[in-house]
Amino acid sequence: TRSLCDWSSDVCSSDLKEGAAVNDFRRPDRVVIGTDSEKAGRMMDKLYEPFLRNHDRLLLMGVRDAEMTKYAANAMLATRISFINEISNLCDRLGADIENVRKGIGSDERIGYSFLYAGCGYGGSCFPKDISALIRMGKEIDFDPTLLRAVDSRNEAQKQVLLEKIRRHFGEDLHGRHFAMWGLSFKPNTNDVREATSLMMIRRLVEAGATVTAYDPVAMEEAAAELDPAWIADGRVSMTEYQYDTLKGADAMILITEWKRFRQPDFAAMKDLLRQPVIFDGRNQYDPQVMSDLGFSYYGIGRTNMPVAV
């Protein structure tokens, strides 16, 4: 019988988050075991017993059920991200603040706050891969997964949102512009740059004539390996050892990854180092009113309050 994993680009894996795999293994919210063997089920139950002493959270089911559970869980989380990103685009155009909206809907116990943070698109290996795998499965069995296709489409479009804001501020011609970028990995606490928004942004900015200097605590080597070596050789793209060095002479700072060290920076130093006090915040780390009071031109996701006629 064909395994659902055959549709995926790699082997099905446990539901362990990058950057938190050890803790997830030691303190799982649930353990899903797919097996057609009663004996194997008992052995796995015994194996996981030390990690599940407080709660019985081990679920035994068929192999296909477990595989689909893994895919469906990631698809659900990706759907929540694409949903809040879609709402953030409406907020941008209607003058609403996505942070207030997020708190309002997240306080509904039927919804909750998890994975409801607007941003510049998800990346990594799991969400894009599993969404693509489910879409491909549907096509092979003559089923159109319209919702999943919409989730994927919204995420691809969301990766363009910051670029659109940059062009609205500076104009279409970015020749001669220099940008600082904070964060390269697709999320904090990992050096994984697969499907990362940062790489797309760097490519588009360089293609538009701009130059970029980037900093990430752990992912600079991985990001450099994915970019055109000529761009690094001729200085169109560079990496710095210290995050504030990226700001020297930059026309704006672009925040892509919400590393903790970026949450409370020295804004006075930033303003002195930047050629222009402009921030494009792809993860809504900063408060728009505070940024305005400090003299920054600030662009968040769903927080820029630019109402349009409707």
* Active-site residue, selected from the candidate residues 12, 91, 120, 126: 126
Task: Give me the amino acid identity at 124.
Answer: G
Q: Encode 144-177 in three state secondary structure.
A: CCHHHHHHHHHHHHHCCHHHHHHHHHHCCCCCCC
Residue 238 phi/psi, 5° resolution? -140, 160
Residue 285 phi/psi, 5° resolution? -80, -20
Partners of 211 in beta bridges? 178
Distance of CA 234 to the CA centre of its chain: 29
Q: Look up 91 and say whether it is catalytic.
A: no
The residues, ordered by sequence, that sit 6+ positions from 301 with a Cβ below 8 Å of its Cβ are 85, 88, 92, 98, 118, 119, 120, 161, 162, 281, 282, 283, 284
CB 229 within 8 A of CB 250: no
CB 201 within 8 A of CB 169: no
**Which residues are identified as catalytic?**
126
